[in-house]
Structure 1
Amino acid sequence: MTKYYLKQAEYYHRIYLTVRAHPFMITHDISVETGISRNTVSRYLRDMIKRQALVGPHLKLKPNVNYPRYIHLTSFSSPEKTFNLFKEFPRVLSYARCFGDWNFLFVTDRLVDFSQLKGHSKTFYWGKRGFIWDVPAQFATWSDTCSVIDDVVKNPGRIEIPQEEPVEIPWTQDQWKIFWRFKDNPRLKATPALKEIRVSYEAFSDWKRSIEHYVQTSVGYYPQGFPYHTKMYFLLETDQPQHVSAVFQCWPTTTMFTQVDNKLLVLLAVPGGRFLSKVLNLFDSLVTENFISSFKHALFVQQWRNNFPPI
């Protein structure tokens, strides 16, 4: 990598970390925070978003009693033909086609009995979705990661993960309108967006002050672009999610974690198929080191609705 492209990659990563920490921050303030000129920040942000090197930020509700979410890992006999049939299916909010121990991942707003549908072959696992969190991508190469991963697995350290009981979100009708408008892009210009949904700026200010209690932010970083990475789901049995999450602190792409009842669903990305065996070896090592007791996995193929993360 030339000196110019190394500096560009460093700037991209610096912008990503700032957006991750401050999802509502405008371009001028990102420039001040990063020490990168405003024009460069604006140009790099456009490029990162266009290539999906930066995915998000998106707002996700913390576990709550207002809008519970459920995840179903299930299989159908002809997944490619079946894929489009679920677009109008009641209760289904988003879904992804996969290849592996299951071939569909569904997110629903209540439990759905998919076994009653034609072509259903197996429901692998289902449960209520809990907290979603990510381990931030590091400014590193894949060679760097591969050189240290064996040592990291033996002594990963730990990171703090969210642990709270579901709450009732006491937002007004206007504040819910704000959430639904901003959830896929909190960096929208507030004034025209609020005018569009006919909500006052005062309600918006009150809502922003409350969101740390009720909302999580998801930001993905994939230097080569999200579509050009191989994505893999892993469903883990573990009582040590803090240590498992810490293993991925050396990863150059964002790793997402989702609690699904008493299991942990992991979504990770690697730059191509040649890394798949290394990833499987990594999870075998986590079993050997007693950080997880078992795992199942599936490749991400495609999704309906570009929700991020697709879980």
Structure 2
Amino acid sequence: MKKSVVAYRKLPAAALRILEAQYDVTCADADTQRDAFLAALANAHGTIGNKLKLNAEFLDAAPKLEVVSTVSAGYDDFDVADLTRRGIVLCNTPDEVTETTADLMFALILATARRIAELDASIRRGEWQSSSGPAQFGVDVHHKTLGIIGLGRIGAAVARRAAHGFGMNVLYANRSRNVAAEEAFGAKWCPLPTLLAEADFVCVLVPLSAATEKLIGAAELRLMKSSAILVNCARGQVVDEAALTDALREGRILGAGLDVFEREPLPADSPLCALPNVVLVPHIGSATAQTREAMARRAAQNLADALEGRLTATCVNPSAVDARSLLHTPGN
């Protein structure tokens, strides 16, 4: 008998074909088809999707669940310790988002530095009446200092663009040294306070965890130059949004480019929306057709591999396999 899989978000046809070739697949959106989703969980051996906090309620409804495959690089929607305790493997898609998210990070750096959104809006209001002057001036990006908080895959891709494309000096703060980036891009490790004080552009790319929640707060923002720009493509909760709003409003930093927010979608009455020195985009780090399809295909293959006992580097918690064995040992 085939194992059962639940797709709780719409998948591209190519990803569905990978799963339908081997498993009984039920497509039931967790938001709009909740009853069908919960019913399908009862017999599910695997799930695939994104943007759903797969909490204890859902896991309790899925006694046969072996694998959870998320169509995302981040996995803060999941209680990894609880999944591991239950013997459920979690897989993600870290590699597919790297270059696309790095592109967006640099787009936000450039758009904020050169005030693209602000000046675009000015033109649309009919305010362009003469040659550009100080009122339209931005700041240079090339040959400035870029500080990267979290030099993983995406951070390294941003560092490559900065060093090789814009002649920038690269500083980074990380839990461990990234020797490859140091050798390839001349990146220099430094403590976070030093990075904040010296960087012209501060890029936030750490995953969300208890250790990184509100990592950048009022005290950290006070360390930054008044001419510095903050760019966040990590998670909104890594930056204290109220403190950032105050710093932007008061001119204590020059600007910000934000792809992520504490509350998503960002409410229209958020004070950030009223500030001219911030560029806002709706969590689009991986949002290209090519990347989203590649992520879905990878997530489908991850699910199939894990259900067949093949754990790859995309497995977040390989120790879940040992926990599952213990759970099914006679006497347990």
What is the TM-score when the length of structure 2 is the normalising length? Answer: 0.24
Larger radius of gyration: 2
**Higher share in strand:** 1
Higher relative contact order, chain-length normalized (CA < 8 Å, sep 6+): 1
What is the TM-score when the length of structure 1 is the normalising length? Answer: 0.25
